[in-house]
Amino acid sequence: MRICLLVPSAYGMRGDVRSIVNLAGELAERHDVEIISVRRHRERPFFPVASGVELSWVVDGRPGVRHLLPGGRMRAEVALWRRLRGLRADVIISTRPGLSVQVARHAPRGPLRIAREWGRPPVPGPIRRFYPRLDAVVTATETARQEWDRLLTGGVPVSVIPDALPAGPWPRSRMDNRIVAAGGRLVPVKAHDRLIRAFAVVAGKRPDWRLRLYGGGPEEKRLRALVGDLDLHNHVYFMGTTSDLTGEFAKASIVATTSRTEVLGMTVIEAMSSGVPVIAFDSPRGPGEFVADGRSGVLVAEGQGEIEAYASALLTLIDDERRRRTLSAGALEAATAYGASAVADRWEKLIAATSRPV
Amino acid sequence: MPVVVSDAEVTLADVLSLRLAVDEPLADGAELVLRNRATSAESRVPLGRPGGRPGGGVRDAALAVSLAPLDLGPGRWDTYLQQGTSRTRLRSVDPGFSLDHLEAYALSRRTLAYRAYRTRNGFLALKIDDARPTAEVRSVWFREGRFEVTGLLAFTGLEDDEARHEARLTLHRSRPDAELSSAATVQGVRFHAALSLCDVIEAAPGQTGTWEPSLQVRGVSTPLRLGSRLDDVDGKRRRLHYPAAQIDGVPIRPCYTADDELRIEVGG
């Protein structure tokens, strides 16, 4: 079977890219798999793509590349239309509503067309109009499934398949380093400022613990200034980006996430696969979708006094090694559902069940 | 045949201790191959009959390899398991070290420091560095007009006890040459030192430049450079940004060099 995965960019450093690259690598064990990246903006993908996976792009956005058409949306849309019209595949899995609408409009009717969704449905008009032409919609969480089901009102079957971790073996934390780690792009929605403020309380009481922030982004300068203002310059390390987040999480004893929403939750899943408990805010569409409070991590209520409550949860876990190890075991157990082979099996079953009789 | 390292550590006696999860028992004549990543030089260690216990479907094999007699030079060494003609690079799920263990390891006087680690691609490797006596920085502060630094002495051979040692922190700069120093506290292997920032400005008035701190400790023959290398974080210059202080309008900022040594930048 030939499976095409259509993504906005396979070259970036995002959770959805990690998830698709992991899934493609596993599916490539049994099928012909191609990742079609609409844009290519660097020489090589940030996350290594398995050798059996074909990688192609629609628009080359690298600096210095000459183009026939003017830049912007027109170039991408015309190039994507041309590519979709001539696409030969058995299954097309498109990520993001913008691309799924284009697949519904322009891809040939032969192959199975499946939309992979993470977040809340955006502008409903084009989705209601074009999504009924697709064969299935697959969300990553149950909450997203209910939202998409409500929007599409039964026009297309909506099912849940979680994101995939890479094929094992996964690195495993010894839980003996006094390190709290956090991963994710440094952007406002990840609310790293809440984490740094909470860690200021922790550093005052447990000065030998360190916070390592993995990732980069536009918020870095502001966060560094905050670290300076709170006198945390000895405690907070800006580790930069890494293609091996699970390996870095495995050096930590706690993974902290303070996102306002965690639509993807790849960092949370990766932390659990390293056997590290996660502390997160219990926000709607947040990490609560992935973390079971008291079993694989700790969820803290949002609202007034949230920073103090988060700091207190961190301190409680820092002081209670036995609980950390119990949660670590729970996290490892929960992560098995996200193993690449388990997830690829579910995709194969869905494809078999959705296939139209010839 | 998949071979996965489930535990890896270089012990205080420079023995690489490994626990392997293998599908089948290791063949007679199996060798551990260490290969230098830069020079491709190889060192082979016959493994003999490994200890361990058979587990449900997967076997455990415990190995211990003494590293000192292998005469490995500084650098990064990848690890392979050679069985007959087949060579398998060793995958690892273990980070290969703990920070507390690295501190304990640095208590002894050594010429080479060995550290096992897991590469970004998930393989076991060894990092070997020259181990000079150094002062490992843990915290840096600009407080009340003073530069303060705390940390621990590494590879000096001093005991981690309550004994106090006489010590001085010296700051040195060149072009124009200047030097100033102050008394420091060393207890066991922990140190604390402080210097007035006004003295730093007055020692080379109107001059921008970089000061190199060092610590002289009675009982240690060479001055100890201040740096931060006793962990897995390389490139602290960009990862740790210390805040600057302004003394008489002149900015002063501690920072790290590309090879993680501490400096104090004045002006600019």
Q: What is the ipTM of this complex?
A: 0.92
Distance of alpha carbon A322 from alpha carbon A328, whole angstroms: 10
Q: What is the least distance, in Å, from the CA of B232 to any CA of chain A?
A: 10
| CB within 8 Å: B240 and A179 | no
Cβ proximity of A34 and A53 under 8 Å: yes
Distance between CA atoms of residues B110 and B131, nearest Å: 6
Residues 164-223 of B with CB under 8 A from A: none
CB contact A222 to B (< 8 Å): no
A171·B99 Cβ contact <8 A: no
| CA A101 distance to own-chain centroid | 21
Q: Per the structure block, which two tokens stand in for A326?
A: 């119990």
- Please state, in angstroms and rounded to a whole number, the distance separating the CA atoms of residues A104 and A6: 12
Separation CA B106–CA B104 (nearest Å): 5
Q: What pLDDT shows up at residue B51? A: 55
Task: Compute the nearest-CA separation of A245 from chain B (Å).
Answer: 9
Mind spelling out the 3-state secondary structure of A143-202? Answer: HHHHHHHHHHCCCCCEEECCCCCCCCCCCCCCCCCCEEEEECCCCHHHCHHHHHHHHHHH
Name the band, by pLDDT with cuts 50, 70 and 90, for residue B57.
very low
The model's pLDDT over B1-45, given as tens digits with 9 standing for 90+, comes to: 578 999 999 999 999 999 998 887 888 888 999 999 999 999 999
**Strand bridging mode A112-117 / A91-95:** parallel
CA distance B252 to chain A (A): 15
Q: Which residues of A295-333 are buried (b: 16+ CB within 10 A; e: fewer)?
A: ebbbbbebeeebbebbbebbbebbeeeeebeebbebbbe
pTM, full prediction: 0.89
- Give the model's confidence band at B50: pLDDT under 50 very low, under 70 low, under 90 confident, else very high: low
Please check whether residue A328 touches B, CB under 8 A: no
pLDDT beneath 70: ranges in chain A: 68-73, 262-264, 356-358
**For testing the chain B interface, which of A22, A176, A177, A232 should be mutated: the one with the most B CBs within 10 Å?**
A177
Inter-chain touch A237–B239, beta carbons under 8 Å: yes
Q: How far is B243 from chain A (nearest CA, A)?
A: 6
H or E element, residue B181: strand B178-187
Determine, for residues A228 and B98 on separate chains, whether the beta-carbon distance falls below 8 Å: no
B120 and A228 within 8 Å at the Cβ level: the answer is no
Binding-face residues of A in 280-319 toward B, CB within 8 A: none
The CA distance from A219 to A228, in Å, is 14
Q: B176: distance to nearest CA of chain A, Å?
A: 31
Query: What is the pLDDT, as a whole number, of residue B49?
Result: 63
CB contact under 8 A, B138 and A234: yes
Nearest C-alpha in B relative to A225: B243
Q: Which tens digits make up the pLDDT trace of B210-249?
A: 999 999 999 899 999 999 999 999 999 999 999 888 888 8
